[in-house]
Amino acid sequence: MSVLSAETVSLAFGGVQALVDVSVEARAGEIVGVIGPNGAGKTTLLNVISGMQRPDRGTVCLGDVPITGLRPSAIAALGVGRTFQSSQLFAGLTVLENVMTGLHLRGQTGLFQAALRTRAMRNEERNVAEAAHDALRYVGMEAFATRPGAALSFGQQRIVEIARALISKPKIVLLDEPAVGLSVNRVAELEHLLRRVRDEQGVTFVLIEHVIRLVMGVCDRVVVLNSGRKIADGTPAAIRGNAAVIEAYLGK
């Protein structure tokens, strides 16, 4: 069953065509990699899916629900998590508080209750903190809960961002270069984590990544973009042997 589908998506910035009739599908429990040279349109594709940019034409659906043109907050509330190329942690918050922000869309108390610190507000805050602790424990970062987000290494921040994306129990998570800043050993740990989340929580992943070792090791399917166009879509083994991909990206 398709969790996410983007059909013939196109988007231009001025006279530059960032995406040209790109179609991508992610099925339930699948890990889909999106690769390609710099400027291929990879991040633009994730921006369209997550609602940060609206396509000139084409549609995006979450299951059977069209989400094209919805606000990013509405798309997130429907079950789409997202991480970004650069760190998005709040420097003035602790690691735990940063992960807690991932549940802001599910809050039930209003501004009045928050201002008066009502019992409902205190209960909700305690529940969110417990969920954040659980998420950090799941990704192996609970020991850093009280540290400022800015005090972590860039690689550690990426793992915390994954915890924040997972806390709201999404159907699908879009990962933009999650292995940036990670050592070889940490990349192997990330590969294990993504498989574990997929297998235990049923989360579908779409990830952009330049660390080909990770893409070929963890992805069920790989989509290749070049100059805004999809030039290949298949298993890692098929992509390795695709002549157009070798010429455009992997190198001879």
Q: How many Cβ atoms from other residues are within 10 Å of residue 136's Cβ?
A: 23
Go through the chain and tell me how many residues it has: 252
Q: What are phi and psi of 177, to 5 degrees?
A: 55, 60
| Banded model confidence at residue 107, pLDDT cuts 50, 70, 90 | very low
For position 58, what pLDDT does the model report?
Answer: 97
Model confidence, pTM = 0.89
DSSP for residue 94: B
Q: What percent of the chain has pLDDT over 90?
A: 69
* 182 compared with 109, residue with greater pLDDT: 182
Domains present along the chain, CATH in parentheses: 2-250 (3.40.50.300)
Assess contact for 124 and 132: CB atoms under 8 A: no
Sign of CA dihedral 112, 114, 118, 123: positive
- 202 pLDDT more than 50: yes
Report strand pairing: 221-226 vs 229-234: antiparallel
Q: What are phi and psi of 146, to 5 degrees?
A: -90, 0
- 148 pLDDT more than 90: yes
Q: What are phi and psi of 88, to 5 degrees?
A: -115, 20
For position 115, what pLDDT does the model report?
Answer: 41
CA 229 to chain centre: 21
Count of alpha carbons within 13 angstroms of residue 12, beta-carbon side: 8
For position 104, what pLDDT does the model report?
Answer: 66
Average confidence score pLDDT of the chain: 89
Give me the mean pLDDT over the 15-35 stretch.
95
> Which tokens go with 225?
């973009």
Q: What are phi and psi of 90, to 5 degrees?
A: -85, 120
Give me the mean pLDDT over the 180-199 stretch.
92
For position 4, what pLDDT does the model report?
Answer: 97
For position 124, what pLDDT does the model report?
Answer: 75
DSSP for residue 226: E
DSSP for residue 114: H
Q: Single out the residue of 150, 203, 143 nearest to residue 173, CA to CA.
A: 203
Bridge partners, 110 (sequence order): none
For position 43, what pLDDT does the model report?
Answer: 95
> Which tokens go with 13?
């910035």
- 203 pLDDT more than 60: yes
Count of alpha carbons within 13 angstroms of residue 139, beta-carbon side: 28
Q: For the segment 36-57, what is each residue's pLDDT rounded down to a tens digit? A: 998 999 999 999 999 999 999 9
DSSP for residue 47: H
Q: How many Cβ atoms from other residues are within 10 Å of residue 96's Cβ?
A: 22
